[in-house]
Copies of this chain bind each other. A is one copy, B any other.
Amino acid sequence: MTETVPTGAPGRAALLRAMEELAREQGVNGVGLREVARRAGLSHAAPTHFFGSREGMIRALALEGLALLDDELCTAQERAARLPGRERLVADSLEFVAFAQRNPAHYDAMFRTPSIANGDDVLDRARLAALGGLRALVVDVHAAGDITGDIETTFLQLCAMSHGIASLAVDGLLHGFDELAPGDSGMDIAERIIRAQVAQLP
């Protein structure tokens, strides 16, 4: 459950990289302790040694991803700092979806693996923290008078929409809508939905 070993071993990093690669190919629930070990060039029990269990291993990927997302949302927010208010909301939401598309393995572990999700304070906290940037942005834009609706509701709307699109993207289901939006790539569809959504906010 919890990590058996502090953190900062050489093999640990190799295992994380191998796991991410595997999860990218097969999805998170296709990752196996032994296959990860094999790819990292270690013995079959190395992962259990570091992560305690399969669940612990995936949890580690989730935590890594949450830190990464937090970072990326921050820099995206800085980059967009001088844009008009609503554009900043678009940029942030889009960045969220792009992150999921770029790091599907991490995203899957972070937000879509309930066995990991439930009853883990550290993880719950990290999730809220990573989303905190978006919430703060909503507050800002509201304070600047660019949007006027209820802050909580607006935040929930953006979260639901972003997670919905990201989930579809991770599962490769966004292409299922191709017939409706022919020629568009996943990100094109995402941007279209997000722009419409943000434009409609009161």
Contact = CB atoms under 8 A, between A and B. Distances in A.
Interface in A135-158: 149-150, 152-157
Interface string A156-200: 110111111101101111001101110000000100110011001
B164 A159 contact: yes
Contacts of A106: none
The interface residues of chain A, by DSSP majority, are classed as helix
A57 to B, nearest CB: 15
Contact of A180 (B112, B118, B155, B170): B155
A10 interface: no
A193 B153 contact: yes
Contact of A115 (B30, B111, B117, B197): B30
